[in-house]
Structure 1
Amino acid sequence: MHTAAPEGLTFRDAVDSDVDALVALIESAYRGDSSRAGWTTEADILQGQRTDPEGVLAVVESPDSRLLTVEREGAVVACCQLEHRGTYAYFGMFAVSPALQGAGLGKVIIAEAEQLARATWGVTEMHMTVISVREDLIAWYERRGYRRTGEMTPFPYGDERFGVPQRADLQFELLVKPLA
């Protein structure tokens, strides 16, 4: 499925051959010095990897998920995971190329993801989890209609597939948005 969108963006579901490019995109948006070019970096709170090819491939191949891949002029510039979970969809693995952050692409992409989740699965809510100390990121989602629930889940300390924490107070907070 290819969908043309504003900003010269094209949305499509990821395929197996996209995995390496998507891993590189996600890593560039969240880890290491390259991530510092954008505002979504987690480099100060987490080191190590953000994801790996096996994790991305599992999302691509899952029958309940789609990994929405966003291209501009043939280059992968963003992605996000949508997973069907009954009455709601889970939104995750959201990454925008650091060089393009702050230009309004995120707003366009999340709106498209919400519309696709409603249209595809008939869900009434979008859920996501965000590291609770990421106040700037949570505020961005709040401006898009997501609300903090105060419901926390522990960070997987000791599982380096999710990174190497640089502080001891990391946890995930559930954010929820009703989809009209």
Structure 2
Amino acid sequence: MEGEIINRVANSKLKTIDLEDYYPEGTRSEIDISQWLMEGIVLVESRFRESLKNTDFTIYKDHYVAVNCSTDAIIPQWAWMLLQTELSGIAQKVVLGSPEDLETAVYRPIINALDLSVYENVPVIIKGCSNKPVPLAAYMMITDQLQGIARSIMYGEACSAVPVYKKKR
């Protein structure tokens, strides 16, 4: 047929990975330990322990929680450990760091568990522009996992993909 439009992308072996598809649903929360410090900078053990004891941590039930300190206070390691004991068995996951660090920690086991054999020797596009907070580190992790498996790795959309990796022949 003359003038027929052929969708070469649909007919190609090109496969797309959208990391947003692997985003685990659940509430994300952040706990700033400075709320329990005297004047936001000094940790007094007895006061800290009492504050933790009087805090209802059940509000974090099944949450993904990032714990950090927004001030320049020096927090002893045991303080973070005490906070972890309060959240254990309540929160889905607890990470020391920023919300981005939390998302990275959530994505790591998901990406490590992916069966990437379907991408063997085929060109792969890792879709960009997600609506959910897919961390930059997840893109690096999936690229690392796909190298040596996929024929090529691109980023973006089929109409405007940026080449990232090409397997040596």
Q: Provide the TM-score with structure 2 as the length reference.
A: 0.27
User: Larger strand proportion, structure 1 or 2?
Assistant: 1
Q: Of the two, which has the highest radius of gyration? A: 2
Q: Provide the TM-score with structure 1 as the length reference.
A: 0.25
